[in-house]
Structure 1
Amino acid sequence: MAWNEPGGNGKNHDPWSSGGDKNPGGGKRNGGGNNDQGPPDLDEALQKLQDRLNGLFGSKKDGSGNSGGTGSSGGGKGGSFTLVGIVAVLALVVWAGMGFYTVDQQERGVVLRLGKFHNVVNPGLQWNPPLIDEVNKVNVTQVRIHDHRALMLTEDENIVDVDISVQYVAENPEFFTLKVRNPEVSLAQASEAALRQVVGGSDMNSILTEGRQIMAISVQERLQRHMDNYETGIRISGVNVRNAQAPSQVQDAFDDVIKAREDEQRSKNEAEAYANSVVPEARGNAQRMFEEASAYREEVVARANGESQRFLALLTEYRQAPDVTRERLYIDMMQNVLTNTPKVLMDVESGSNNVMFLPLDKLMEQQRGTSGASTRSSSAEMNLRQLNDQVTEQARNRQAGSLREGR
């Protein structure tokens, strides 16, 4: 049975009583601790709880049970003020505890006091009054990436598909948080503007081949100027051109054009290599011919000078001994002529029956041209040469004798 049910034992079941209960006025209930005592009302229970709290915080009671010597109404007001103070202290402690926070080493905290910029806090344990200050943490070391891809028109009126990757960091946390509502959107729009400006001033060949690095540097410089003008607090750390190609609809045709250009460049390289190998050889041959011509000229001039000097020397000798000089000149001339002419001389005055004509010169040439002739043929040729030399010497002597007799 519950303690507050009618007919129950109030002494045993009343949670607020200990021994004899007191009434709000400080006296005992009627009947003391009799079993027919009814349950206490809610006001009495609250009053007892308030009295205990007052006792804990040092409040005194008078003989009539009133605290501070005042009546029951005055005691109730003092207890209410005490309870409000406790709640206020607890609320203040909770409010103060809510103001503590930590800022990581890679972050900076932007403090707004009543919606207006106050300061930037560094890493560590910080405190700001809650509900008054608002702290926005910004990572100032993280490298963020923005990818952008678009179809653009080049200077030579061609369309290219360019894909770039922009790397950036939030260098100024104040500007990054307050100056621009959405810095990433501003970065995307500025990236497209800078890229279109650079691509629009370049031809398609440079964009597709060796001009990508130059284009990336130009885009980074222009994009950084835009970010500084907008006061976004963003620093561009790098721009990479990941891909630059013709639109997919005409990619096959552009591949053929690129292959043709590569073939053209390869042909040029081969032609230059051939020219580099031929031109020096031709120049060497030309120089050799020039040197040979110079040597021939010097030789002819020297020979002419020698012949003229020889002629002058012979003229001097001829003037001193004409006959001897004339004969000597005649003999030298005949020697030169007969040396370079094939000849066969035969003695016909001995009365022998030798054949008057034999193709001895042809036989000698045939014997010279035959490399596989036997030893006997070689001996015969040597004998024939000796005979020819003897006949030639005899003919010279006879001719010289006849010339002398004629003179």
Structure 2
Amino acid sequence: MAWNEPGGGQRDPWSGNGGGEQGPPDLDEVVRKLQERLSSLFGGNQPPGGAGSSGGRSGGGGQLSTRLIGVGIGLLIAIWLLTGFYIVGPAERGVEMRFGRYADTTMPGLHWHVPVPIESLVKVNVDEVSTLTHRAAMLTQDENIVEVELTVQSRIQDAADYLFQDQDPERTLNDATVTVARVVIGQSKLDFVMTEGRGAVAVTIKERIQNLMERYKTGLIVTSVNMQPAKPPEQVKAAFDDAIKAREDKERLENQAEAYSNEVLPSARGNAARILADAKAYRDRVIASAEGEAARFLAVLTEYSKAPDVTRQRLYLETMETVLSQNGKVVLDVTEGANNLLYLPIDQLMKQTQTPAAPAAAQPSSTGPLVMPERVEPPQRTVDRERRVR
């Protein structure tokens, strides 16, 4: 049975006594009990009920309010301190400012600073590359006008200088590029700028721009300067194109001549070295042959001095053998007083039969007299008589 149903007896929880009539709950008593419970939770020891209950409620409420305010203030301070943590990315630098003045530069990672309004933070991307393009007509050293286009790439090197030392670093970079480009082009001749000097001009411009950036403490570093091919004014562009083409033809012919020279000279040097080597080999061969002949002659002379007759006969036989082996003559050994012997050179006749036959008798010519072929006489053979050396 519920406490507010008829016959519930003494189950009314809002009643302070054991009996009595049922009625609406006392709101002041409910508030008092809630305050007592809250006081007990936060360490209060307010005595329940009895005399001086009004003063007890008043003192408990003041203590509770004070504690709640302290807890709230503590939570706010903790949250305020937690807002001082920050993370700097790999491509960033953190610039801490204390009351608007530069304090420190932090590297990538987790850091903490005194939260706003005491200190503030600015993150700067130091890996981002900025590109600046400048195009203008400039006057060269030889008083010619040329159109130049430059592309300057830069990035932030010092975040503190970039934020506090120069009011507008990008504008300073633009002004420095214009100034340096006009000075460098004005100190160079037109042919040098338009041909082989383009790379050197770009390097000089980059170095001078960087010097100005460091002097003004802009915090920027120039990473590259690219210079497009310089162009002459449109009014004289055709003449400039002809001059450039002639210069290119000159360079091409010079390169061809250099290539031909590099090809011919090594070949000539090789031929000269080969001729010198052949001459040296011939000299050595002749000297060796002469020395051998001299040594052989001295050896024969030594033998001749020992046995003149035998040496003389041996030399004669060797000489005749050498001569007759290379001669077509035939030597017949006949006794003294014998008749001559007829020798038929069959080997020579065989050689003649293998040669082309003589032309036949010439036919009568309508334009001249008859021409007879010459008679071919057989070769004469000499029969020498030599006495056999015994």
Shorter-normalised TM range: 0.5 to 0.7
The answer to whether 1:20 aligns with 2:5 is no
Question: 1:232 matched to which residue of 2?
Answer: 218
The answer to whether 1:60 aligns with 2:45 is yes
The answer to whether 1:37 aligns with 2:24 is yes
Q: Which has the higher helix share?
A: 1
Equivalent of 1:263 in 233, 246, 250 = 246
TM-score by length of 2: 0.55
Q: Give 2:193's aligned amino acid.
A: I
Is the CA contact (8 Å cut-off) linking 1:154 and 1:202 kept in structure 2?
no
Q: Give 2:40's aligned amino acid.
A: G
Q: Give 2:219's aligned amino acid.
A: G
- What SS is found at the alignment partner of 2:230? strand
Is the CA contact (8 Å cut-off) linking 2:96 and 2:104 kept in structure 1?
yes
Q: Quick one: distance in 1 between partners of 2:133 and 2:64? A: 69
Question: 1:189 matched to which residue of 2?
Answer: 175
Is the CA contact (8 Å cut-off) linking 1:19 and 1:33 kept in structure 2?
no
Q: Give 1:266's aligned amino acid.
A: D
> Structure 2 matches for 1:343-362, cutoff 5 A?
none
Question: 2:60 matched to which residue of 1?
Answer: 75
Question: 1:254 matched to which residue of 2?
Answer: 237
- What SS is found at the alignment partner of 1:134? strand
Q: Which runs of 5+ in 1 are unaligned?
A: 1-10, 13-17, 23-27, 281-372, 380-407
Question: 1:218 matched to which residue of 2?
Answer: 204
Is the CA contact (8 Å cut-off) linking 2:139 and 2:146 kept in structure 1?
yes
Q: Quick one: distance in 2 between partners of 1:124 and 1:68? A: 59
Equivalent of 1:101 in 86, 99, 114 = 86
Q: Quick one: distance in 1 between partners of 2:21 and 2:229? A: 97
Seen in structure 2, the aligned counterparts of structure 1 residues 123 and 275 have a Cα distance that, compared at 3 Å, is: closer
Is the CA contact (8 Å cut-off) linking 1:61 and 1:67 kept in structure 2?
no
> Structure 2 matches for 1:188-337, cutoff 5 A?
188-246=174-232, 250=234, 253-263=236-246, 265-266=248-249, 270=253
Is the CA contact (8 Å cut-off) linking 1:108 and 1:139 kept in structure 2?
yes
Is the CA contact (8 Å cut-off) linking 1:61 and 1:69 kept in structure 2?
no
1:70-91 per-residue CA deviation (whole Å, 9 max, x = no partner) reads 5333222212111111111110
Q: Give 1:136's aligned amino acid.
A: V
Is the CA contact (8 Å cut-off) linking 2:202 and 2:227 kept in structure 1?
yes
Is the CA contact (8 Å cut-off) linking 2:138 and 2:147 kept in structure 1?
no
Equivalent of 1:162 in 106, 124, 148 = 148
Q: Quick one: distance in 2 between partners of 1:184 and 1:47? A: 70
- What SS is found at the alignment partner of 1:71? helix
Question: 1:88 matched to which residue of 2?
Answer: 73
Q: Which runs of 5+ in 2 are unaligned?
A: 6-10, 265-367, 375-390
- What SS is found at the alignment partner of 1:181? coil
Seen in structure 2, the aligned counterparts of structure 1 residues 91 and 243 have a Cα distance that, compared at 3 Å, is: farther
Seen in structure 2, the aligned counterparts of structure 1 residues 50 and 94 have a Cα distance that, compared at 3 Å, is: farther
Q: Quick one: distance in 1 between partners of 2:123 and 2:219? A: 14
Is the CA contact (8 Å cut-off) linking 1:154 and 1:160 kept in structure 2?
yes
TM-score by length of 1: 0.53
Seen in structure 2, the aligned counterparts of structure 1 residues 39 and 222 have a Cα distance that, compared at 3 Å, is: farther
Is the CA contact (8 Å cut-off) linking 1:112 and 1:135 kept in structure 2?
yes
Is the CA contact (8 Å cut-off) linking 2:138 and 2:148 kept in structure 1?
no
TM-superposed CA distance for 1:51, in Å, is 4.7
Question: 2:164 matched to which residue of 1?
Answer: 178
Is the CA contact (8 Å cut-off) linking 1:154 and 1:200 kept in structure 2?
yes
Q: Give 2:245's aligned amino acid.
A: E
Q: CA RMSD in A?
A: 4.4
Most deviating of 144-153 and 122-131: 144-153
Q: Quick one: distance in 2 between partners of 1:47 and 1:243? A: 92
Question: 2:99 matched to which residue of 1?
Answer: 114
Question: 1:153 matched to which residue of 2?
Answer: 138
TM-superposed CA distance for 1:40, in Å, is 4.5
- What SS is found at the alignment partner of 2:228? strand
Question: 1:297 matched to which residue of 2?
Answer: none
TM-superposed CA distance for 1:206, in Å, is 2.4
Seen in structure 2, the aligned counterparts of structure 1 residues 162 and 196 have a Cα distance that, compared at 3 Å, is: same
- What SS is found at the alignment partner of 2:77? helix
Q: Quick one: distance in 2 between partners of 1:82 and 1:146? A: 60
Q: Quick one: distance in 2 between partners of 1:96 and 1:79? A: 26
Q: Give 2:249's aligned amino acid.
A: R
* Percent identity over paired residues: 30
Q: Quick one: distance in 2 between partners of 1:118 and 1:106? A: 20
Is the CA contact (8 Å cut-off) linking 1:148 and 1:192 kept in structure 2?
no
Q: Give 1:262's aligned amino acid.
A: K
